[in-house]
Structure 1
Amino acid sequence: MNNASIKALRPLAVAVAAAALAFAAQAGEVEVLHWWTSGGEAKAAVALKGTLQAKGHSWKDFAVAGGGGDSAMTVLKSRVVSGNAPAAAQIKGPSLQEWAQEGVLANMDELAKAEKWDESLPKVVSDIMKYQGHYIAAPVNVHRVNWLWVNPEALKKAGAKAPTTWDEFFVAADALKKAGIVPLAHGGQNWQDFTSFEAVALGLGGVDFYRKALVQLDPATLKSPTMEKVLSTFRRLKDYTDRNAPGRDWNLATAMVIKGEAGMQIMGDWAKGEFVAAGKTAGKDFLCLPAPGTAKSFTFNIDSFAFFKLKSEPNQKAQRDLASAIMSPDFQELFNLNKGSIPVRMGMKMDKFDDCARASAKDFADSAKSATLVPSIAHGMAVPSAAEGAIKDVVSQFWNSDKMSTAQAMDRLVAAAKQR
């Protein structure tokens, strides 16, 4: 190569080097606390990691054992107090507000405004992602909690039809019991007890009752005739479970429905993953129906990421890119196809999703318009953690003890609701 050619290439080489330096300067590290370790979730985490790496950032897993329990939050607190917060952590519901009150979460308004998050999310969802009107978190998905999973073959054997009301539920349950099939697959853990309880509350009381009783924790509503009816109906369910229910994991209860050992289960849409993994087809091998009486309403459980204040500008850039990726239509589709949930963004195409997901997405959109979207207390979306724990304990004690009257249960619910 002659000198003239070398001289001509020098400006290009300088420009390339400058661009590389600028890219390196912009590249940051994004450390993420999450517990997406099971099959489908792990795939989605890898995809998110790839998106960030494609932008030049490095990804650091904040490993969490045991699906993100108290120990994870304890470690997170110590990291935040020591001034070494991760870029993002999987936190949801009222816990987002509790972290924001500590002044440790970053303001994501600039990105949210540029990407029109307000227009993409139902208001009830965006309000949860904000603190004092400012975005501090991004939602990943929506799980519908108020589902009834049904084995149609079991119903056929019993000569029963799929129920749409609680009266119809007990008719079907009696027929299943007579046919020697466990009517209701259940696992006796407090969150599973409450998943059934809130389905009964929504189905019998409606959205306004549910909101007053289980979101606003209104004492008069917690002691109302409607609540007495809800508790009595909830207690009736126990007669249709089997003696091995106490302590059973939810997925083992789902397996009973898959095998036809049980006819029905009240559980969120993560149960669908168990049916699909067993090679079952929605609408044919299993039915996904709104829990009795709840067809026009939707209890939600939303996974979200809170963003912590960071000092490094490159890391702040990586954090913004992470938030942008989480809210992107491509990631929302990929993640939710793997997780069994549905995208939280409104107006997304659902052609790749199955019948259950499409029904859920339609009901989610309809409920957003009619203001019948309500947060699930069983899954940490509705009330502060202290009150949630106390209320769950009362409901499980009522479920497990025939000696507790509905009046006593209502008094205890009122007392539990005061926990802060």
Structure 2
Amino acid sequence: MKAVLIASFLCALAGSFSFVAPKQTQTDTRPVAEVVHWWTSGGESAAIRSLASAYNTRGGHWVDTAIAGGSAARTTVINRILGGSPPTAMQFVVGNELDDLIHARMVNHIDRVARQQRWDQVLYPLLVESVVRNGKFYAIPVNVHGANWLFYNKKLFDELGLKEPRSWDDFFHAARVLKANGHIPLAFGGEAWQERMTFLNILLSYGGRELYEDVLSYRRPSAVTSPELENVFRAFARLRDLVDEGHPGRNWNDATNMVITGRAGMQFMGDWAKGEFRAAGQQAGIDYGCVLNLGNQPLFMVGGDAFGFSRSDDPAVIQAQELLALTMMDPQTQRAFNRAKGSLPARMDIEPEGLDYCDKKGLDILRDPSKQVPDVVMLMTPDQKGLLTDIVTEFWHRPSMTPKEATEKLAAALAAVI
């Protein structure tokens, strides 16, 4: 219901504003593209610079607007669109985040370029499904992210005689040894999205694929209130004893740095953390290790980043948007960007360059469609995802809340959302 109201509100306002985009000057006739994004960490900054450089090399003029935090960036974009000063393009997560703006007719599709470039044939099918609405491409997926990784400080593990965790028993054993030797077992950022992502990591690897899909995709009451989901909450609760007191509000990249420096031993995080390890000069398999979907099921939780385009009939704006699309999907740009970002190319038809130990491990699993699992942003509406996040966060911060209470509260919340 909330999403419907937001869409109606946006539609009502859409016709009240004239959209003004960044303009070319008399002395500079290059296509100007202002791009709003939230990539501000070391690895992320290197990645966005590669996109900007590629766009400028193709004859465009990239105007960079970086806003820390995905929620802040999305709010800024919506406010600017409603205020009549939209950016040329804006970052979103692949999935349902663009739907309200599409329904409100506030974004351009990029279908002409997509069809010419055969995106429907070269992109991973899950990515195509995530950005196509009513038969048209409304965004450019620039990468594939796996959100279900466990990273660990390999040198620290070697010093303590620990092997790479392959199971939850291995994980908790390593945590006990790390803690006994004065190290923080688990680097953790106490932000709502990080808490949700860690919980979903446990849901998939500890609870299993069937439970993951029954809860997130089908939202079956029997699964949401099951003893199996209670066990997932119970495993999540065990992590409270493995984190430090300073975790609330910590940025994800600061938590990654704890593993890089050896202050902490492990971190559950998406593969964008690899960009931070690389920016620090560390090598996969030597300085740090990685496990995709801890447990006995090799599964890749598929997500990614995409760029959408503000609505405009201005030929200069459309020219800039189409040049952005061509640039971002160019094979060489895809290789350079994803190498810096720690992700894998969105295109299936190119062979990534300079793959390290973790990249190869992820790509081998990703290339098997049977091992691909959609991220929550592809399975739930923003409202549903928000309710899940609220309950996971409440459970994490309120130890008196039992797993049974959490599952019952989640079931009631999801049942109330259309």
TM-score, scaled relative to structure 1: 0.84
| Structure whose alpha-carbon radius of gyration is higher | 1
- Where does residue 403 of structure 1 map in the other structure? 400
Deviations 1:23-82 (A, max 9, x none): x99964333222344455445444434444455444444x34323433x33442243335
Within a 5 Å distance, the mapping from 1:20-419 to structure 2 comes to 28-61=31-64, 63-70=65-72, 72-92=73-93, 93-293=95-295, 295-366=297-368, 369-370=369-370, 372-375=372-375, 377=376, 380-417=377-414, 418-419=416-417
Deviation of 1:337 after TM superposition, in Å, equals: 1.5
Q: 1:147 to 1:41 in 2, by over 3 A?
A: closer
What secondary structure, in the 3-state scheme, does the structure 2 residue paired with 1:94 have?
Answer: coil
Partners of 1:236 and 1:402 in 2: CA distance: 10
Partners of 2:196 and 2:142 in 1: CA distance: 24
Amino acid at match of 1:48: L
Q: Which stretch shows the higher mean deviation, 312-321 or 73-82?
A: 73-82
Deviations 1:277-315 (A, max 9, x none): 333221012111114126521113311011233212232
Identity, % of aligned pairs?
Answer: 37
Partners of 1:25 and 1:261 in 2: CA distance: 50
Partners of 1:298 and 1:36 in 2: CA distance: 23
Partners of 1:313 and 1:158 in 2: CA distance: 62
Deviation of 1:100 after TM superposition, in Å, equals: 1.0
Partners of 2:278 and 2:154 in 1: CA distance: 16
Deviation of 1:416 after TM superposition, in Å, equals: 3.3
Partners of 2:39 and 2:260 in 1: CA distance: 25
Amino acid at match of 2:219: L
Report if the CA contact (8 A) 1:27-1:315 is conserved. no
Partners of 2:363 and 2:154 in 1: CA distance: 23
Amino acid at match of 1:116: R
Report if the CA contact (8 A) 1:202-1:294 is conserved. no
Q: 1:330 to 1:236 in 2, by over 3 A?
A: same
- Where does residue 20 of structure 1 map in the other structure? none
What secondary structure, in the 3-state scheme, does the structure 2 residue paired with 1:142 have?
Answer: strand
What secondary structure, in the 3-state scheme, does the structure 2 residue paired with 1:69 have?
Answer: helix
Within a 5 Å distance, the mapping from 1:12-27 to structure 2 comes to none
Amino acid at match of 2:387: A
Report if the CA contact (8 A) 1:160-1:176 is conserved. no
Deviations 1:177-215 (A, max 9, x none): 333333222222222222221111001222232122124
Deviation of 1:410 after TM superposition, in Å, equals: 0.5
What secondary structure, in the 3-state scheme, does the structure 1 residue paired with 2:265 have?
Answer: strand
Deviation of 1:269 after TM superposition, in Å, equals: 1.6
Partners of 2:48 and 2:180 in 1: CA distance: 46
Q: 1:235 to 1:348 in 2, by over 3 A?
A: same
Q: 1:29 to 1:153 in 2, by over 3 A?
A: closer
What secondary structure, in the 3-state scheme, does the structure 1 residue paired with 2:166 have?
Answer: coil
Q: 1:287 to 1:415 in 2, by over 3 A?
A: same
Report if the CA contact (8 A) 2:303-2:374 is conserved. no
Partners of 1:113 and 1:144 in 2: CA distance: 27
Count of matched residue positions in the alignment of Structure 1 and Structure 2: 390
- Where does residue 6 of structure 2 map in the other structure? none
Q: 1:338 to 1:25 in 2, by over 3 A?
A: closer
CA RMSD, aligned part only?
2.6
- Where does residue 21 of structure 1 map in the other structure? none
Partners of 1:68 and 1:246 in 2: CA distance: 18
Q: Which stretch shows the higher mean deviation, 40-49 or 398-407?
A: 40-49
Report if the CA contact (8 A) 2:302-2:372 is conserved. no
Runs of 4+ in 1 over 6 A off after TM superposition: none
Partners of 1:104 and 1:351 in 2: CA distance: 37
Partners of 2:49 and 2:193 in 1: CA distance: 29
Q: 1:81 to 1:287 in 2, by over 3 A?
A: same
Report if the CA contact (8 A) 2:187-2:266 is conserved. yes
Deviation of 1:135 after TM superposition, in Å, equals: 0.7
- Where does residue 15 of structure 2 map in the other structure? none
Amino acid at match of 1:234: F
Partners of 1:413 and 1:166 in 2: CA distance: 25
Partners of 2:347 and 2:105 in 1: CA distance: 27
Amino acid at match of 2:221: P
Report if the CA contact (8 A) 2:175-2:186 is conserved. yes
Q: Where does structure 2 lack aligned partners over 5 or more consecutive residues?
A: 1-26
